[in-house]
């Protein structure tokens, strides 16, 4: 039973990583940038939800939607102000800017909400599911997280495959110049990707804080790095890859904690990434591109 409990917890944590990783992977796919501020967008989203829930006592679902709306706007604003002027700059310049944005968001949160950790109240308030005469207890948050991840994945896949905007996104990530010549508004498309990614980050943040209820200005950093690792593990730029990488990483982390020891779980997670990249340099589902001379 322990095994099953760990597996379920792993899948649940992995689902959160998968939702965050989607934001990373889509932004990387289209803008070719490592958006290190993504984890902090997640943190801001969680704070917004926490505040709205605490002060106005609104329905949790409305709070989640509100925080998603806030981070969506935040994502668009950040992209316009900080990343858009650097479209033609070197990738390292964009990376440093993203790190600047990350510092900015963390310190804004520190100034507004203080450094003391907040006890986040779960947004899912249903009773746990008890199976096998109480041997297996699955919390409602766990189920909600996995469901949310599945819904997000299905919606995103449909969106990128069926809608005009989704097709535009794929076109821009394939070849920016050619897409522009075909009449696609590249700037709007990139903004759209940032909007979706940031909105999803808030959802992931709320789910993460519901399961692990401490909220601090640095809450987003480590999940951000882990989700980034998940995106690379699955093959950065690939949406199914992000989901696969996220779930795998979550399972590995929980199993490492359970069977090897809490203190080495990070080392094991990153070691797995390294081994996978050495065998498949473009990640599990990534496309290997041959270099042309």
Partner 1 sequence: MSKKTKSQLITYALVVCLFALAFGLSATGMMSNSMVGLLVPICAYITMAISLNLVVGISGELSLGHAGFMSVGAFTGLATSAALKYYGVITAGPARLAVAMVAAGLFAAVAGILIGLPVLRLRGDYLAIVTLAFGEIIKNLMNNLYLGMDASGLHVSMTDAKSLGMTGGTIIINGPQGAAGIDKLSSLVSGFVLVMFALFVVQNLIDSRSGRAIMAVRDNRIAAESVGVNVMKYRLMAFVVSAALAGMAGALYAMNYSSIVPKKFDFNTSILVLVFVVLGGMGNIRGGILAAALLVWLPEQLRFIGDYRMLIYAIVLISVMLLTNNARVKAFMEGFRERRGMRQAGAAEGGDGK
110 part of the interface to partner 1, by CB under 8 A:
yes
291 part of the interface to partner 1, by CB under 8 A:
yes
Helix 140-162 with 239-259: angle, nearest 10 deg:
160
Q: Please write down the HEC assignment for all residues of 181-247.
A: HCCCCHHHHHHHHHHHHHHHHHHHHHHHHHHCCEECCCCCHHHHHHHHHHHHHHCCCCHHHHHHHHH
Residue ranges in 81-100 that form contacts with partner 1 under rule CB under 8 A: 82, 85-86, 88-93, 95-97, 99-100
Least separation in angstroms between residue 95's CB and partner 1 is: 8
Give whichever of 93 and 126 is closer to partner 1, judged by the CB atom. Answer: 93
Please give the Cα distance from 203 to 196 (Å, whole number).
11
Taken in order 275, 272, 285, 163, is the CA torsion positive or negative? Answer: negative
Give whichever of 50 and 83 is closer to partner 1, judged by the CB atom. Answer: 83
Per CB under 8 A, the list member of 122, 225, 240, 258 interacting with partner 1 is 225
Ramachandran quadrant class, 134 (left: phi over 0; alpha: psi -120 to 50; beta: rest): left
The CA-atom distances, in angstroms, between 4 and each of 10, 133, 137 are: 10, 15, 10
Per CB under 8 A, the list member of 34, 149, 171, 193 interacting with partner 1 is 34
Least separation in angstroms between residue 176's CB and partner 1 is: 17
Least separation in angstroms between residue 254's CB and partner 1 is: 16
Give whichever of 20 and 207 is closer to partner 1, judged by the CB atom. Answer: 20
**Alpha helices (runs of H) in 57-185, residue ranges in sequence order:** 60-78, 91-113, 140-162, 164-174, 176-181
The 247-286 contact track toward partner 1, x by CB under 8 A, reads: ----------------xx-xx--xx-xx--xx--xx----
289 part of the interface to partner 1, by CB under 8 A:
no
Q: Are the C-beta atoms of residues 190 and 25 closer than 8 Å to each other?
A: no
Which residues bind to partner 1, rule: CB under 8 A?
Answer: 28, 34, 82, 85-86, 88-93, 95-97, 99-101, 103-104, 106-108, 110-111, 221, 225, 228-229, 232, 236, 263-264, 266-267, 270-271, 273-274, 277-278, 281-282, 291, 293
């Amino acid at each position: 039973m322990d095994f099953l409990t760990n597996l379920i917890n792993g899948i649940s944590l992995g689902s959160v990583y998968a939702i965050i990783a989607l934001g990373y992977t889509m932004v990387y796919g289209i803008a070719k940038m490592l958006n290190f501020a993504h984890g902090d967008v997640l943190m801001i989203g969680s704070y917004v939800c926490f505040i709205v829930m605490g002060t106005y006592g609104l329905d949790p679902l409305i709070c989640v939607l509100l925080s998603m709306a806030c981070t969506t706007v935040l994502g668009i604003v950040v992209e316009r102000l900080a990343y858009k002027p650097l479209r033609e700059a070197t990738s390292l310049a964009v990376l440093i800017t993203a790190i600047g944005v990350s510092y900015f968001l963390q310190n804004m949160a520190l100034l507004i909400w203080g450094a003391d950790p907040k006890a986040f109240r779960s947004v899912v308030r249903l009773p746990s599911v008890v199976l096998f005469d109480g041997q297996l207890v699955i919390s409602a948050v766990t189920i909600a997280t996995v469901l949310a991840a599945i819904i997000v994945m299905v919606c995103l896949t449909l969106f990128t495959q069926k809608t005009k905007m989704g097709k535009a996104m794929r076109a821009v990530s394939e070849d920016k110049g050619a897409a522009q010549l075909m009449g696609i508004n590249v700037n709007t498309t990139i903004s759209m990707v940032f909007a979706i990614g940031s909105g999803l980050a808030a959802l992931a943040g709320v789910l993460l804080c519901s399961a692990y209820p401490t909220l601090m200005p640095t809450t987003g950093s480590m999940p951000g790095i882990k989700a980034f690792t998940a995106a690379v593990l699955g093959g950065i730029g690939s949406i199914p890859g992000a989901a696969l990488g996220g779930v795998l990483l979550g399972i590995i982390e929980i199993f490492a904690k359970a069977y090897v020891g809490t203190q080495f779980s990070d080392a094991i997670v990153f070691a797995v990434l390294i081994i996978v990249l050495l065998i498949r340099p473009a990640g599990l589902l990534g496309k290997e591109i041959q270099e042309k001379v």
